[in-house]
Amino acid sequence: MAWKEYGVWEQRSEFVHEWNSGDWNMAELCRFYGISRKTGYKWVERYEAGGLEGLLEKSRAPQYHPNEISEEMEEEVLALRGKHPLWGARKIRAWLEQAHPRGGMIPVVSTIGSILRRNGLTVPRKRRHSARPNSEPLTHADGPNRVWCADFKGWFRTKDGQRIDPLTITDAYSRYLLKCQVVRAADAGHSKPVFEAAFREYGLPERIRTDNGAPFGSNGDSGLTRLSVWWIKLGILPERIEPGKPEQNGRHERMHRTLKEATASPPAATRRRQQESFDEFRREYNEQRPHEALGQVPPIQRYRCSAQRYPERVVKPEYPGEWETRRVADGGQFRWRSDRVFAAHALEGETIGLELIEDDCWRVCFSFYELGILDRKGKIWRSEEWEKRQQKAGSR
């Protein structure tokens, strides 16, 4: 019988066992297993020298490399990572260079990364599409309602199997937990009523800070979604963190960790019981739980409602008289001279404004939100990209 691609070690073990039984001679046994007598004697020799472990496949790579790091250095790398779990390969190498100023065999960054991966201490990141983050520095929350933070805490299931997607909204300055609401789906249609309820109860913030995922942001150049377009019409500026940098919304992320420990470890029996648990947590978190960053007082002592109340009717954006205006049609495009220019799918049915800034170049805006610069060829550039192009052209 031929060797199979799987279970090779098991078949070698069976071969040796049959040989030791004394019921076969080498020629017969090798014919049965479909191997040569030379191979059969090799497995017997390996077994006699190293037992069953000697039958394992051996690497053909050199057993020693002149640049191989020592076991002591590898242990030092692992110990350092254990002491500082958030340190990556670059930080570990920098520390080793300081700890061993006289030189020696300090592993390069790629080698340290290999050590960490080999020991299961790193997880490769999935490649994500580039989204448009906020083009300006994130606003410092120096008062209530200056910045609200919103996100979906990671979904989980109740004991009866129902999926739970909690939408959370906090005030960045006071850490006040405005909403923690289970929604049927993490989309704009189910999120908007939660935000509307928060606006009616607490008033309007100046900005809402989120990540770049749906329903808050999109991968389009504008970064807009139906939800963020609605915010802009209310006078609220969407503020998105950079992709892959949740620390830019760190206060909200820290609240999520506390929320999970208090309400979802383990989860409640049903959706209704889980929402009751969220409501109880929100009351305690806001009114009783001392917060270290607030001088050990609860958030309710630092929060007050916004003076900007939620309007009964959302008005359409208005633009100065000297601006050009265009209506965005189906497909997210608008007519510009003889061409059609793409703005954003989320702006379908909305009116945008165009301000002439130089010869045949226009700043494109939706209300106060700048979409980019429209050039002579009918292409909209992000403002930061446009400035780089202008600087490059001026240096020639």
Residue 318, domain member (yes or no): no
Same-domain status, 166 and 244? yes
Torsion angle defined by CA atoms of residues 210, 214, 219 and 225, in that order, rounded to the nearest 10 degrees? -90
**Tens digit of each residue's pLDDT, the chain (396 residues):** 444 444 677 778 888 888 887 778 888 888 878 888 888 898 888 888 888 777 777 666 555 455 567 778 888 888 888 777 757 788 788 778 877 876 667 888 888 888 888 877 775 655 444 445 454 556 678 899 999 999 998 889 999 999 999 999 999 999 999 999 999 888 999 999 999 999 999 999 999 999 888 899 887 778 899 999 999 999 999 998 887 777 788 888 888 888 988 898 899 999 999 999 999 999 999 998 888 888 888 899 999 999 999 998 888 999 999 999 999 999 999 999 888 999 999 999 999 999 998 888 899 999 999 999 898 888 888 877 777 776 666 655
What pLDDT sits at residue 7? Answer: 63
CA-CA distance, 363 to 350, in Å (whole number)? 17
Same-domain status, 113 and 40? no
The answer to whether the pTM exceeds 0.85 is: no
Same-domain status, 26 and 89? no
Same-domain status, 259 and 386? no
Cis-peptide into 290, omega within 30 deg: no
> Residues near 53 by Cβ (< 8 Å), separated by ≥ 6?
none
What pLDDT sits at residue 15? Answer: 84
Same-domain status, 176 and 288? yes
16: nearest Cα among 2, 5, 3, 30 = 30
Q: How far is CA 379 from the centre of its chain?
A: 30
Domain residue limits at 339: 324-394
Residue 264, domain member (yes or no): yes
Residue with tokens 């580039």: 130
CA-CA distance, 241 to 248, in Å (whole number)? 6
Same-domain status, 198 and 258? yes
Residue 137, domain member (yes or no): no
Residue 1, domain member (yes or no): no
277: nearest Cα among 159, 194, 171 = 159
Residue 228 in contact with residue 236, Cβ under 8 Å? no
Same-domain status, 169 and 267? yes
Residue-wise pLDDT for 193-231, tens only, equals 999 999 999 999 999 999 888 899 887 778 899 999 999
Q: How many domains does the chain have?
A: 4
What pLDDT sits at residue 5? Answer: 41
Residue 306, domain member (yes or no): no
Residue 355 in contact with residue 367, Cβ under 8 Å? no
CATH code of residue 77: 1.10.10
213: nearest Cα among 228, 201, 229, 202 = 228
What pLDDT sits at residue 82? Answer: 79
What pLDDT sits at residue 69? Answer: 74
CA-CA distance, 183 to 140, in Å (whole number)? 30
Residue 140, domain member (yes or no): no
Residue 83, domain member (yes or no): yes
Same-domain status, 289 and 189? yes
Same-domain status, 211 and 177? yes
Mutual angle of helices 8-21 and 37-50, in 10-degree steps: 90
Same-domain status, 244 and 375? no
Both tokens assigned to 368? 């106060």
Same-domain status, 100 and 156? no
Same-domain status, 274 and 338? no
Residue-wise pLDDT for 330-349, tens only, equals 999 999 988 899 999 999 99
Residue 148 in contact with residue 175, Cβ under 8 Å? no
